[in-house]
Amino acid sequence: MTNERASPPAGPDSAPGSRRPGGRTARTRAAVRDAVLTGLTEHGYPGLSVEYVAERSGVHKTTLYRRWGGLEGLVVDALDLAGEDSWKPPETGSLRDDLRALTRETAASFADPAAAAAPRAFIAAAFQSAKAADALHAFYAERFRRCESVVLRAVERGEIPRSTDAGALVRAATAPLFLRLFVTREPVDEALADQSADGALAAALAGVFTTQPKPQLQPEPQPQL
């Protein structure tokens, strides 16, 4: 569940001043994005500059300032572009296996230095730039929104209560991985991924993520499974 280096989007190019979707403008945007990713990965946000992006991408500095406004705009657009991929959560047929596949994918992607470099750099940049933090928020809001389909399908199958907060459940499933990756700086592996997924599932089955009023406050019938 990371931001892959996707190909330039085939759809309408939403960059400022865009023309000819998929054409020169999209190629420029992709080249600039790649330069930003490389810079963030190699030097971090503190070491990134518009000059670096210009040199690396071959796009003139004045163009970068005109179209992206500056460094923060470049980082934000790179993150926006990373979110324009076609990533979908797993669909195995059971909530347990979907959640395990999701957490395993998260663990594996951050264990791969090449795949992890960009998301790690964006998470770090968010500490230094409020705009990057906003873009990171939007990126993960969309990522987890896609993940909710895992929960909605489980509800349709009658595995968990209809009132389950899908967003809370998929966040809980992956949270122990992110905690170890970026706060406690501990290793993550497949066993931890499975444990995290199973823990969130157990919590969901116990009704921890149901959004209805608490039964003891306002009794109501249990949702139909």
Nearer to its own copies by Cβ, of 59 and 136: the residue is 136
Rounded CA-CA distance 88/162 in Å is: 22
How far apart, in whole angstroms, are the C-alpha atoms of residue 173 and residue 201? 8
Query: 137-156 mask for its own copies (x: CB under 8 A)?
Result: x--xx--x------------
Q: What is the rounded end-to-end Cα distance, in angstroms, of the chain?
A: 29
Count each helix (H run) and each strand (E run) in the chain, helices first.
9, 0
* DSSP 3-state of 164: strand
Size of the site for its own copies (CB under 8 A): 42
Residue 37 CB contacts under 8 Å (≥ 6 apart), including other chains: 5, 78, 117, 118, 121
What's the min distance (Å) between Cβ of 204 and its own copies? Answer: 8
61-68 helix and 50-57 helix, angle to the nearest 10 degrees: 120
Which among 14-22, 52-60, 83-91, 123-131 is the span making contact with its own copies, rule CB under 8 A? Answer: 123-131
CB of 126 to its own copies, least distance (A): 6
Least distance in angstroms from the C-beta of 74 to its own copies:
17
Pattern 31-50, its own copies, x by CB under 8 A: -------------xxx----
Q: For binding to its own copies (CB under 8 A), which residues are involved?
A: 44-46, 120, 123-124, 126-128, 133-134, 136-137, 140-141, 144, 168, 171-172, 174-176, 178-180, 182-186, 192, 195-196, 198-200, 202-203, 205-206, 208-209
